[in-house]
Amino acid sequence: MDIHSFNKAIISRRALLHNFRLLQEKASPSAFLAMVKADAYGHGMLECSDYLFRNGCTIFGVAELGEAVSLRKNGISGKIFIMMGFDPQFAEAVVQQQITPVIYDRLSLHALSQAASKQNQKVAVHLKVDSGMNRLGIQLEQVDEFLDLIDTLPGVELEGVASHFPCADDRLSPETRKNYQRFTVFRERIANENLTYHIANSAGTLFHEETRRDMVRCGISLYGYYPDGVMMDTEAGLQPVMSFTTRVLQVKDVPQGEGISYGHTFRTLQPSRIAILPVGYEDGYSRKLSNCGEVIIRGRRAPVRGRVCMNMCMVDVTDIPGVETGDEVVILGAQGNETINADDLARQCGTISYEILCMIGNNNQREYI
């Protein structure tokens, strides 16, 4: 018998497909890359990629080579970008599995060229340029050197040029225009309009249309969230893909003045009814939600009382009649007329939806519906 956890991260294929189609259509005629790194932001890289691939998505992005190879092994025959490059000792795998690396150093170019020549193949690479993020990427004064190197190395071919926005999630920041301007300077220096130029992440795609260029790379929006944490026009807009549910383990009446959970950081102000839930920080429910998180039981919100423990937390159900062991509890998602989304949890944790989704999705059994 399959033994399930009390906790379930539920992934809606319908919502994923809705977001994919919406974004692809918005971005058209730019090509669409589905960012599936970090196990598809906690939604399951293999399951999501497979579903998207069967529904017409042909370009995928991951961080590392290992992820790309595992996509290939699972039958994804589209284009797979590795955004962080690769360890030169694995150049042969890049060539053999026909992965598209994003390149920012000479060593991996040499290694690729060698591996490609040995296998009698050609590898298409994308050059990563730094237009202001000051993370990965070559600088303007290195462009000529890299173009020359790629030109002279057998087996490697420049196919595109990539950069990344640091501030595009701020709809109003002037930084994005400046970054895009610098990207344009790179483009003029490279002077080859046959290449694929791409810089837009979800924020670029949604908030700065002029930056979509030849391809957009969408992660968070594919999973139903706006990069700045503000949900817009939810009717026609993006739909959150993940929800997270659990069950009530035990319910008890606690007298006034009792401390709850480790450190007794909460004391009951009145005789209270407390429900114990099998969800803790080990399940991606951050300890930062101690005394400030909320869950939904019987269609109503119940506040977290005391510290979130490793595997459990306590919520106050004094005002929710009839709560009993086994009741479904929604931690992320909707029940009745109430909804808690990853932006709500992120705000309470001082982080962004990205981290909440990774933490919950990658620490729980996932169920695909």
Ligand X SMILES: *Cc1c(COP(=O)(O)O)cnc(C)c1O
Give the footprint of ligand X on this chain (CB under 6 A): 35, 37, 83, 164, 201-203, 217-221, 227
Can you list the alpha helix ranges (DSSP code H) found in 191-328? 202-207
CB 101 within 8 A of CB 94: yes
Residue closer to ligand X (CB basis): 180 or 281 = 180
According to DSSP, residue 264 is labeled: G
Residue closer to ligand X (CB basis): 32 or 90 = 32
CB of 203 to ligand X, least distance (A): 6
CB of 218 to ligand X, least distance (A): 5
Instruction: Point out the catalytic residue in the list 8, 26, 37, 281.
Output: 37
Closest to 260 in 3D by CA, of 246, 247, 274, 281? 274
Residue closer to ligand X (CB basis): 41 or 266 = 41
CB of 320 to ligand X, least distance (A): 36
Within 10 angstroms of residue 334's Cβ, the number of other Cβ atoms is 14
Identity at 333, one-letter amino acid code? G
**Tokens 């929710």 identify what position?**
320
Instruction: Point out the catalytic residue in the list 8, 79, 262, 354.
Output: 262
CB of 301 to ligand X, least distance (A): 29
Upstream peptide bond of 29 is cis (omega within 30 degrees of 0)? yes
Question: CA-CA-CA-CA torsion for 263, 343, 316, 283, nearest 10 degrees?
Answer: -60
Residue closer to ligand X (CB basis): 128 or 307 = 128
Residue closer to ligand X (CB basis): 113 or 163 = 163
DSSP per-residue codes, 131-143: SSS-SSSB-GGGH
Distance of CA 255 to the CA centre of its chain: 43
Task: Please name the residues in contact with 142: beta carbons below 8 A apart, sequence gap of 6 or more.
Answer: none
CB of 11 to ligand X, least distance (A): 17
CB of 260 to ligand X, least distance (A): 37
Residue closer to ligand X (CB basis): 35 or 248 = 35
Residue 37 designated active-site = yes
Q: Which residue is nearest to ligand X (CB)?
A: 219
Task: Please name the residues in contact with 1: beta carbons below 8 A apart, sequence gap of 6 or more.
Answer: none
Alpha-carbon distance 353 to 361, whole Å? 12
Residue 128 designated active-site = no
DSSP lists the bridge partners of residue 328 as: 247
Number of Cα atoms under 13 Å in the Cβ half of residue 140: 12
Q: Which residues are catalytic?
A: 37, 262
